[in-house]
């Protein structure tokens, strides 16, 4: 009876449609539901008292917010987790459930995580979809079950009525990468755009922004823009090894659109003895890329604010649960770290966010 009473205690937080669907699908529980109510297990009489003015549910039951990244292995996602937990700690009485696939291209596993969170009847889902179309149905299902969704980092195809989208302006970030590339190669030479994987909205916007940005520099030629590095350092290194065999002799620069791609590109350039000669522009930092920025092997890193991304996503979700309005899009900013400014306060904060935040 305790588990049923816990469900009943959360009824004011669920939509009426969710409760009706649950009881229709479980006829026996419909009877037990009535018995439980008659036996003294009751939902709160005043929904307004179920949540504190600042955040979580009043009493001993915290709001459970599932935060689901594209993957869990890269530094970027660890910083998002840090920010999400920071928000939960500030609000109070909020539990972060951090779940996600290990491999960022594993859309099936991410869908399974979302469905598991729906089954757990969490109070909200904060999701970075690793495939802009592949997660639509799962998000629709969550919202249909009365569980609101905030999307972060990477966009979702139109359809679901999400609370908000919290992210970098990735198109602008791509344009910033183009500008930094032009500076690094003196506005002249052959360059490569190394793509990520198909269907990732955030990196597709970076790629588009980079190519559009280079249109302002007529003496820069893109010799390859259709190759994908994949979701890990090893596959990216192998792809760049191949590209260097074809274009390395006359190559001026490479733009890698995410952390694993940039790490693999850096390894490939160093192995070929081309680091520093072929200018690398990266998107998202790592320890190796930050060191490369210092020794001249990397000429610029477009950096996001993953701590703010996690922080604002959770704050927005809890606010929405408490009836507060939310902006449709919340920008967390985009910056460029260079060898010249990497030791300035803002660059340091974003190059190692989870340490200095």
Domain ranges of the chain: 1-44, 62-167+306-333, 170-303
User: If you average pLDDT over every residue of the chain, what do you get?
Assistant: 87
Three-state DSSP at 316 gives helix
Q: Indicate the pLDDT class of residue 75, thresholds 50, 70 and 90.
A: confident
Per-residue model confidence as pLDDT tens digits over 45-57: 333 323 333 455 4
Q: Indicate the pLDDT class of residue 24, thresholds 50, 70 and 90.
A: very low
Q: Which CATH class is domain 62-167+306-333?
A: alpha beta
Q: Is the pLDDT of residue 15 over 70?
A: no
**Distance (Å, whole) CA 240 – CA 256:** 10
**Distance (Å, whole) CA 328 – CA 151:** 10
Return the H-helix or E-strand segment holding 71.
Answer: none
The arithmetic mean of pLDDT across residues 91-104, rounded, is 95
Residue pair 121/98 in contact by the 8 Å Cβ criterion: no
Q: Is the pLDDT of residue 117 over 50?
A: yes
Per-residue model confidence as pLDDT tens digits over 154-196: 999 999 999 999 999 999 999 999 999 999 999 999 999 999 9
**Distance (Å, whole) CA 217 – CA 70:** 34
**Distance (Å, whole) CA 340 – CA 137:** 46
Same CATH topology for 62-167+306-333 and 170-303: the answer is: yes
| Main-chain dihedrals φ then ψ at residue 119, nearest 5 degrees | -60, -40
pLDDT computed for residue 262 by the predictor: 98
The better pLDDT of the pair 21, 314 is held by 314
Residue pair 87/65 in contact by the 8 Å Cβ criterion: no
31 Cβ neighbours under 8 A, 6+ residues apart: none
pLDDT computed for residue 19 by the predictor: 46
pLDDT computed for residue 60 by the predictor: 74
Q: Is the pLDDT of residue 81 over 70?
A: yes
The arithmetic mean of pLDDT across residues 315-321, rounded, is 98
177 Cβ neighbours under 8 A, 6+ residues apart: 206, 209, 210, 213, 255, 281, 283, 300, 302, 336
Per-residue model confidence as pLDDT tens digits over 233-285: 999 999 999 999 999 999 999 999 999 999 999 999 999 999 999 999 999 99
Per-residue model confidence as pLDDT tens digits over 214-239: 999 999 999 999 999 999 999 999 99
pLDDT computed for residue 1 by the predictor: 46
| Displacement of CA 325 from its chain's centroid (Å) | 22
Q: Indicate the pLDDT class of residue 334, thresholds 50, 70 and 90.
A: very high
Buried b (16+ CB within 10 A) or exposed e, 330-347: bebebbbbbbeebeeeeb
Residue 154 CA: distances (Å) to CA of 20, 21, 69, 271 = 33, 31, 10, 32
pLDDT computed for residue 357 by the predictor: 45
**Distance (Å, whole) CA 161 – CA 181:** 38
For residue 320, how many other CB atoms are within 10 A of its CB?
18
Q: Which CATH class is domain 170-303?
A: alpha beta
């Amino acid at each position: 009876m305790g588990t049923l009473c816990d469900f009943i205690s959360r009824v004011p937080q669920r939509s009426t449609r969710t409760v009706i669907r649950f009881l229709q699908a479980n006829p026996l529980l419909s009877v037990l539901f009535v018995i439980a109510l008659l036996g003294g297990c009751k939902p709160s009489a005043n929904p307004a008292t179920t949540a504190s003015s600042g955040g979580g549910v009043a009493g001993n039951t915290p709001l459970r917010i599932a935060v689901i990244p594209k993957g869990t292995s890269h530094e970027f996602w660890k910083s998002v987790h840090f920010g999400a937990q920071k928000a939960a700690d500030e609000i109070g009485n909020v539990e972060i459930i951090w779940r996600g696939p290990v491999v960022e291209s594993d859309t099936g596993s991410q869908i399974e995580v979302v469905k598991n969170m729906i089954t757990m009847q969490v109070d909200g889902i904060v999701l970075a979809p690793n495939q802009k179309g592949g997660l639509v149905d799962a998000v629709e299902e969550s919202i249909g079950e009365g569980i609101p969704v905030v999307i972060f980092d990477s966009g979702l195809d139109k359809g679901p009525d999400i609370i908000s989208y919290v992210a970098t302006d990735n198109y602008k970030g791509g344009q910033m990468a183009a500008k930094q590339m032009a500076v690094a190669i003196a506005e002249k030479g052959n360059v490569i755009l190394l793509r990520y994987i198909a269907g990732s909205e955030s990196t597709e916007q970076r790629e588009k922004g980079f190519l559009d940005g280079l249109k302002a520099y007529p003496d820069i030629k893109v010799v390859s823009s259709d190759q994908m590095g994949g979701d890990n350092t090893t596959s990216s290194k192998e792809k760049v090894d191949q590209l260097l065999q074809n274009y390395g002799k006359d190559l001026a620069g490479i733009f890698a659109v995410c952390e694993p791609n940039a790490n693999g590109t850096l390894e490939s350039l160093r192995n070929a003895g081309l680091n520093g000669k072929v200018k690398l522009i990266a998107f998202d930092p790592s320890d190796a890329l930050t060191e490369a920025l210092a020794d001249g092997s990397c000429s610029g890193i477009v950096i996001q604010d993953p701590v703010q991304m996690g922080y604002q996503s959770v704050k927005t979700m809890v606010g929405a649960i408490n009836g507060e309005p939310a902006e449709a899009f919340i920008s967390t900013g985009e910056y460029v770290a260079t060898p010249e400014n990497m030791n300035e306060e803002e660059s340091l904060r974003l190059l190692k966010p989870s340490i200095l935040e």
